[in-house]
Each structure stands twice: as structure tokens, then as C-alpha cells.
């Protein structure tokens, strides 16, 4: 249905990027009010991300001893002759740790890219 329409094009009359880069960078570097607000936003975003992922791990990990304590029958369940509690603690927990770490690295780097984009005024 789009066959009849011409492709959209972006037309730039004047590139005002240079001026803005310098201004915002200097604002961050010299800690003006705007720059400080930008850094505060970045710190808050990164801390929020770290805390949320730490909460995920804590809830998962704390749930294991509590669940085993409350339902002792649970740990008697076996898979291929290995008890569930051993399977979780000796094997399954490690990929979870790595996965959460990987997710954090990806999201934290994305947050930093967004920050640099705002500062450098790229669209």
C-alpha cells in the first residue's frame, strides 16, 4: 500500500550540532546547574538499575533457603537422581548470576550511550 508514495527523506538546512556539543559538554564539565542536573540524572538511573537487579537476585536467592526451610519436602524432589536443592545451588544458580550480570552490562552501557547522546546533542 506504500508503493505509490515517495520515500521519506530528511532535509537538513543547517547543522547546528557543533555549537551545542561544546555548550553541553562544557556544562557537564564545569558543573553548571544544567550539567549537574544531567549528572544527577545519570547517577540516579544507574543506581536504580543496579538496585533493581540486586533486588531480583536477593529475592531469588533469599527465597531458596526460606522455601527449603518452610517446605522440607521440596528438597526431597529429585531430577535424574540428584536432589532439587543440590541442583539449584550447585548448578542452576550460576547461569542466573551470569545472566543478570550480562543484562546489567547491556542496560548500563545503554544508559551511558543515552547520556552521551543528550550531552552531544545527537538526535
Q: Using CB under 8 A as the criterion, which residues of the chain lie in contact with another protein when the complex forms?
A: 25, 28-29, 31, 35-36, 39-40, 42-43, 46-47, 50, 53-54, 57, 61-62, 64-65, 68-69, 72, 75-76, 83, 85-86, 89-91, 93-95, 97-98, 100-102, 104-105, 108-109, 112, 115-116, 119
Nearest Cα to 49, choosing from 121, 9, 105? 105
Would you say how long the chain is, in residues?
A: 123
54-57, Cβ contacts within 8 angstroms, sequence gap of 24 or more: 56/100, 57/96, 57/97, 57/100
Q: C-beta of 58: minimal distance to another protein in Å?
A: 8
**Burial class, 119, CB count within 10 angstroms (exposed 0-12 / middle 13-18 / buried 19+):** buried
Judged by beta carbon, residue 9 or residue 79, the one nearer another protein is 79
By C-beta, is 16 or 40 nearer to another protein?
Answer: 40
Shortest reach from residue 92's CB to another protein, in Å:
10
Amino acid at each position: 500500500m506504500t508503493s505509490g508514495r515517495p520515500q521519506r527523506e530528511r532535509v537538513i538546512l543547517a547543522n547546528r550540532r557543533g555549537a551545542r556539543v561544546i555548550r553541553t559538554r562544557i556544562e557537564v564539565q564545569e558543573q553548571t546547574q544544567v550539567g549537574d542536573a544531567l549528572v544527577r540524572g545519570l547517577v540516579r538511573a544507574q543506581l536504580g538499575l543496579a538496585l533493581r537487579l540486586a533486588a531480583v537476585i536477593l529475592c531469588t536467592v533469599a527465597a531458596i533457603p526460606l522455601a527449603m526451610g518452610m517446605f522440607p519436602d521440596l528438597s526431597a524432589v529429585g531430577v535424574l537422581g540428584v536432589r532439587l536443592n543440590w541442583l539449584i545451588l550447585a548448578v542452576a544458580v550460576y547461569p542466573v548470576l551470569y545472566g543478570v550480570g550480562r543484562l546489567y552490562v547491556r542496560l548500563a552501557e545503554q544508559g551511558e550511550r543515552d547520556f552521551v547522546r543528550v550531552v552531544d546533542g545527537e538526535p
